[in-house]
């Protein structure tokens, strides 16, 4: 009978090998993390931009199909429009049956989108904080620009609604002004 271990049969990692593996993994994570954060920011921007576009298209479609003005406006509670052109907390779509340019208690909310992305700032032109579509699909006398900005104030992109009701995406370099 033999007492002791046969060292050739022991398998596993030494402490040095384990620490080296952890060091390599740490370096790889350190290299990949900034790129991943940029990817996340870009995806939040794209998702928010598409959500806004969908809301604008629905408001225009409602106006045309129902023959009444329909609006999309910024909202913090999903029940009333918010003034000041700050869209960060969400928006709502409603049919403006009495044509007064604001949502009243008797007008139903057709769609809400609350707290889309807390890390994005969304601002519209001060002169035009909301969009009202007429039954012919038009949207007013001047363009409405929605700027989508990062937390640190970088302009990521914009949506521009012209007076005929056409909505388009705009790249940051084509937009006058920044994120204010």
**How far is residue 122's CA from residue 144's CA, in Å, rounded to a whole number?**
13
Q: Cβ(121)–Cβ(112) under 8 Å?
A: no
CA-nearest of 89, 87, 58 to 73 is: 87
**How far is residue 135's CA from residue 65's CA, in Å, rounded to a whole number?**
8
90 belongs to a structural domain: yes
Enter the pTM of the model. 0.79
pLDDT at 117: 65
pLDDT mean for each 10 residues of the chain (180 residues): 59 83 89 79 88 94 94 90 87 91 87 79 84 91 86 88 91 72
Q: What residue numbers bound the domain in which 96 lies?
A: 40-174
101 belongs to a structural domain: yes
86 belongs to a structural domain: yes
CA-nearest of 148, 144, 114, 145 to 132 is: 144
Count up the domains in the chain and report the number: 1
The string of DSSP letters for 38-57 reads HHHHHHHHHHHHHHHHHHHH
54 belongs to a structural domain: yes
Rg of the chain on CA atoms, in Å: 26
pLDDT at 7: 60
Token pair 């049956």 in the structure block, residue: 97
CA angle (83, 57, 150) in 5-degree steps: 55
HSE, CB side, 13 Å, CA atoms: give it for residue 38: 6
Burial zone of 68 (CB within 10 Å; 0-12 exposed, 13-18 middle, 19+ buried) = middle
116 belongs to a structural domain: yes
Cβ of 90: how many Cβ atoms within 10 Å? 19
We report the CATH number of the domain holding residue 46 as: 3.55.40.10
pLDDT at 125: 77
CA-nearest of 94, 87, 96 to 52 is: 87
Residues 6+ apart with CB under 8 A from 2: none
pLDDT at 12: 75
16 belongs to a structural domain: no
pLDDT, tens only, 13-42: 788 888 889 999 988 888 877 777 788 888
């Amino acid at each position: 009978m033999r007492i002791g271990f046969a060292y050739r049969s022991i398998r596993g990692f030494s402490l040095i090998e384990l620490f080296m593996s952890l060091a390599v993994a740490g370096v790889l994570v350190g290299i990949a993390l900034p790129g991943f954060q940029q990817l996340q920011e870009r995806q939040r921007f794209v998702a928010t931009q598409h959500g806004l576009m969908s809301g604008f298209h629905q408001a225009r479609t409602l106006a045309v199909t129902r023959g009444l003005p329909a609006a999309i406006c910024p909202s913090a509670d999903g029940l009333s429009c918010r003034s000041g052109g700050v869209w960060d907390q969400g928006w709502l779509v409603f049919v403006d049956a009495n044509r007064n340019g604001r949502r009243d208690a008797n007008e139903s909310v057709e769609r809400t989108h609350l707290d889309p992305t807390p890390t994005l700032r969304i601002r519209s032109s001060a002169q035009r904080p909301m969009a009202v579509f007429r039954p012919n699909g038009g949207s007013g006398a001047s363009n409405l620009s929605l700027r989508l900005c990062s937390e640190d104030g970088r302009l990521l992109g914009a949506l521009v609604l012209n007076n005929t009701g056409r909505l388009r995406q705009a790249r940051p370099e084509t937009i006058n002004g920044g994120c204010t």
